[in-house]
Amino acid sequence: MHLEAIHVYKQFQTRQGSLMALKDINMHIETGEFVGAVGTSGSGKSTLLRLIAGLETPTTGKIKMDGAEVIGPGADRGVVFQNYTLYPWMTAMDNVGFGLKLQGIKPKERRVRVKEYLEVVGLSQFTNAYPKELSGGMKQRVAIARALACHPKVLLMDEPFGALDIQTKASMQEFILELWQRLGITIFMITHDVEEAVFLSQRVYVMTSRPGQIQRKLSINLPLNRDHSIKRHSTFQDYKDIIVDLLSGRDVATSNSD
């Protein structure tokens, strides 16, 4: 899988005139990568993710997936939204299986896949629970399982842990990292939490606003098998400092952009 954005611009027409949400975005995601995008509010992170998902179209420029231009949403690009968008009238099981149902997969095979992915996200106990009976972290796991059950080529996540408390967020971060390694999936995740971006990503796009731009592409060279203890490591701190400086408009000569 090779996903790329080529000279992407996105303009919105608002009542105050036109607004440049994204300016000259060039980025790529390769098979098996965990790519992060971090930026301040309004830097166009969500817009970028929606463009990749096909929920918006670029004003100019192209999004390409394996050479073919993205023209609309599809099951090859799974999306996890911030606000747990589960179907409230469906149980956890039916939520996870819904994508498969939409694609016309037979109930028998669907049941097997649903069971598998509920196990993957550790929610086998909650098969028949309705979304309103699940905690925020659990809802987000159902949403992740629902997206993964369709076997997408890339999983797009827009601040998936933004609404969670600190402890749940930390455990969800370890969970998604472990999932990524175990399943060999490709993930593109958006966050405004610098620490989260460094902790999870192999590569981070640092975005700034007005207009939304990629300031820097940063490779994170930390051991693949990480847990939260790595956050005390000095290299980790260095990466964090670089990004924080970039976001606050200070440039640093020591940055290791590539």
Partner 1 sequence: MKLTIKPLHQSSGTPVQGLKPTVFWRIGEDIPPSFSSLLIVLSVVVPFLAWWVLSTSGLVHPKFLPSPPQVINALVRLWQSGVLLQDITASCFRVGTGFFLAAVVAAPLGIAMGTFASIRSLTEPIFGIVRYMPAPAFVPLLIIYLGLEEPPKIALIFIGTVFFNILMIMDAVKFVPKELIEATYTLGGRRWQVLLQVITPYVIPNIIDAFRINMAASWNLVVVAELVAATEGLGKRIELAQRFFRTDEIFACLIILGLIGFAIDLSFRVLLRVSCRWAVD
Kindly state whether residue 47 participates in binding Mg ion, applying the rule CB under 5 A: no
User: Least distance to partner 1 from the beta carbon of 174, Å?
Assistant: 25
Q: Least separation, in Å, of the C-beta of 29 and partner 1?
A: 16
36 forms beta bridges with 189, 204
**Smallest gap from residue 19 Cβ to ligand ATP (A):** 5
Q: Is residue 46 a contact point for Mg ion (CB under 5 A)?
A: yes
CA atoms within 13 A on the CB side of 170: 7
Q: Does 36 bind ligand ATP (CB under 6 A)?
A: no
| Candidate list 16, 41, 167, 254; residue touching ligand ATP; CB under 6 A | 41
**In what order do the strands lie in the sheet containing 68-69?**
17-30, 2-14, 60-65, 68-69
Closer residue to Mg ion in complex, CB, 45/113: 45
Q: What spatial distance separates the first Cα and last Cα of the chain, rounded to whole Å?
A: 22
**From the centroid of its chain, how far is CA 137?**
16
Q: Which does 53 bind (CB under 5 to 8 A by kind): Mg ion, ligand ATP, partner 1, none?
A: partner 1
Nearer to partner 1, 147 or 200 (CB): 147
Per CB under 6 A, does 47 bind ligand ATP? yes
Q: For residue 115, which of 93, 95, 137 has the smallest C-alpha distance?
A: 93
Give residues in contact with partner 1 (CB under 8 A).
53-55, 72-75, 77-79, 81, 83, 85, 87-89, 98-99, 101-103, 130-132, 146-147, 150
Do 258 and 242 meet the contact criterion of CB atoms below 8 Å apart?
A: no
Total count of residues recorded for the chain: 258
Specify the amino acid at residue 221: N
8 Å CB contact between 242 and 254: yes
Whether 117 and 99 have beta carbons less than 8 Å apart is answered as: no
| Position among 12, 28, 216, 245 found at the interface with ligand ATP (CB under 6 A) | 12
Task: Note the residues at the interface with ligand ATP (CB under 6 A).
Answer: 12, 14, 19, 21, 39, 41-47, 192, 212
